[in-house]
Amino acid sequence: MRETRTATNCIAGCFVCNGSDAMWTSKNAMALAARHHDATGHETWADQTLTVRYGGHDQQQSD
């Protein structure tokens, strides 16, 4: 059976307060961006990445 590992990462910010620099980097960054928009009306953003790895990192490749 194939080992599969996944991880997600999210950063978010406010274009008005901080431009394109991230203000939030925690697991709930998207929620914080949404709440900030609701509270201020500012345009906010969130970028989420998904990383997937198949197989163990200690497995040797066979030719």
How do residues 6-45 score in pLDDT, each as one tens digit? 999 999 999 999 999 999 999 899 999 999 999 999 999 9
13 near 24, Cβ under 8 Å?
yes
**pLDDT at residue 40, rounded to an integer:** 98
Q: What is the pTM of this model?
A: 0.76
Q: Is pLDDT above 80 for 60?
A: no
Q: pLDDT confidence of 56, banded at 50, 70, 90?
A: confident
Rounded to 5°, the CA angle 6-51-25 comes to: 100
